[in-house]
Each structure stands twice: as structure tokens, then as C-alpha cells.
A = this chain, B = another copy of it.
Amino acid sequence: MKLATVRINGSSTAAVALPNGDYLPLEAPDLSALLRSEGWQEKAAALAAGAGTGSRVVSAADAEVLNPLPHPNKVICCGLNYSDHILEMGRELPSFPTLFAKFADTLTGPFADLEITASESVDWEAEVAVVVGSRLSRADAAEAAAGIAGYTAANDISMRDWQNRTLQWFQGKAFDSSTPLGPVLVTADELDPEAGVEVSCYLNGERMQHGNTSTLVFSAATLLSYISTFTVLRPGDIVLTGTPGGVGMGMKPPRYLSDGDVLTTEVGGIGRLENRIRATVTA
């Protein structure tokens, strides 16, 4: 099942996203609220099973796709997680995940313009994001796996100048409305990143990144279990699972985003984010 947050007649609502592109609205303003409600899976599945019976279907033309999860309590990112990229860089595989935090304000819609005002080296990082479905505290891997609501796509847009000002990456990863998310949440029963999901990033149509989640050092369930050792995870929390090789910072010379560029983030089985850069800083 695919779920989305869409704006219909000026109001935000959670919805089932149908294969033909239409939507079935659910009784929650967004997926953050839906995932915190009791029995949302059964209600959404029942609604989807009865699709086509009539008036509740909203056509794609009447719906604007929004950030699916506007109100997570926690957004945690894992760096250095694609083993093929780590090995091609001549590094050893890590024993522990490299983690950093984002605030909910960093998130934006799957088709939002990205307004850049204070950075001269804006880079891309296409990622699969795992969305928490249950409260997880000191969960083992099996419990963590069962606590995954599903997956969505993200691009962890990184201001490399700010990221590299100090040893801590946070400030280069924390710009408001810099991380597009969506367009849908695919429930965990329909997607298995451990079996392999393709992750790609395109700049003005040219493929810059390409990887497969089967090469992740730390799987989604492993990350949730590890994180839950020190902090509780709750429905709607988000963990970004890392990015494959091909970021702009690694090119010779480095290549960064400019005003007017179109960035496309593609995750197999989930879909595409498409974001235009609006930069008022010139490099």
C-alpha cells in the first residue's frame, strides 16, 4: 500500500495513493498524525480494498502532493552506509553507524523549490528513509523490523561549506526546508530494502548517483535497533539510511547546485522527488 499527504481543496489530508494516481482521503491531516492513530493500517487497507465504489476518490489533478511526514519527533541520519562506495574509496567498513540529527523544520515537499540563501556549495544525497510505525525502546533487530511502518525517499541536501566549517556536520545538514521527502510512504509489506532497492539522483536529467540498498552496511532494522538503545523511537519518526557514491563534493573539480538546476531523486518502488533550486547566493 502507498500512502501520501496531499492538499485537496486547500486542506491537508492523509490519503491512500492508488495505482492510477488518484487518492482516497483518510481521517488524519497528514501521515505523521495517521501513524500515531490506532489501527491505521486496517482502516487504510479496508478503504483501499473498497476503492472505486464512488465519491471518495479524488483525482490526481485535484491533489497537491505535500511532505508526507511534517511532524516527526526525531529525524536521524546515517552517514557512510553504502559498502560499495566505502570500499571504492579505499576505506574499511565501519563497526558502528555514523549518526547525526535533523529537526523536522529541515523537511520539505517532494516537488518543492529549494530556496538557497546562505551557502555556496549545495550538494545532493539521495536516500531511502525508513519510517517508524511502533514505539521502539531497546528493540532487538526482529522487534525493530516489525516496527517499520514503511519507506519513503529523501534527499539530504548538504551545505558543504557549512558542514565542513567544524568537525560536526550538523550545521550543514540543518537548513530549514532543505530535505525533500516523499512522494509516498510505501508500507513495509511491499518493499524490502535488504533484498535490494535502486537509489538514484539526477541533476538536470544526468545521473549523478546510483546505488542499491542491498549493499547497506547497516540495514533499516539494524539502525532502528541501534538507535533505540539510547533513545526511544515513536510512530512517524524518520531515519535516513545514507547515500551511495556520486555526490558533488567527491567530483574533481567538485560540482554543486546552481539556481535553476532540477534535482531528481529516484527510489525504486517508491517514486521520484523533483526539486528546482532557487539560489540567491552566487558561488
Contact = CB atoms under 8 A, between A and B. Distances in A.
Interface of A: 73-74, 79, 94-106, 118, 159, 162, 165-171, 174-176, 229-232
Report which residue of A103, A176, A229, A230 has the largest number of chain B beta carbons within 10 angstroms of its beta carbon: A230
A168 B73 contact: no
Given A74-B103, A103-B74, A174-B101, A96 B166 contact: yes
Nearest to A74: B103
A97 B166 contact: yes
A154 B97 CA distance: 28
Q: What's the number of copies of this chain in the assembled complex?
A: 2
B230 A168 contact: no
A103 B101 contact: yes
Name which of A101, A105, A169 has the most chain B CB atoms within 10 A of its CB.
Answer: A101
Given A95-B165, A98-B167, 8 more contacts: A73-B104, A97-B166, A98-B166, A98-B168, A100-B168, A106-B231, A118-B229, A175-B230
Given A118-B230, A231-B105, A232-B176, A167 B167 contact: yes
Nearest to A226: B171
Contacts of A99: 166, 168, 170-171
A248 to B, nearest CB: 19
B101 A170 contact: yes
A136 B96 CA distance: 36
12 contacts: A96-B171, A99-B168, A100-B101, A100-B168, A101-B103, A101-B170, A101-B174, A105-B231, A118-B229, A174-B231, A175-B231, A176-B232
B174 A73 contact: no
Contact of A231 (B103, B168, B229): B103
A166 B73 contact: no
A261 B236 CA distance: 37
Nearest to A171: B99
Nearest to A97: B166
A94 B171 CA distance: 15
A230 B171 contact: yes
B103 A230 contact: no
A229 to B, nearest CB: 6
Contacts of A229: 118
Contacts of A168: 79, 98-100, 168-169
A94 B166 contact: yes
Contacts of A171: 96, 99, 230
Given A101-B101, A168-B79, A162 B230 contact: yes
B96 A165 contact: yes
Nearest to A80: B166
Contacts of A97: 166
Nearest to A103: B74
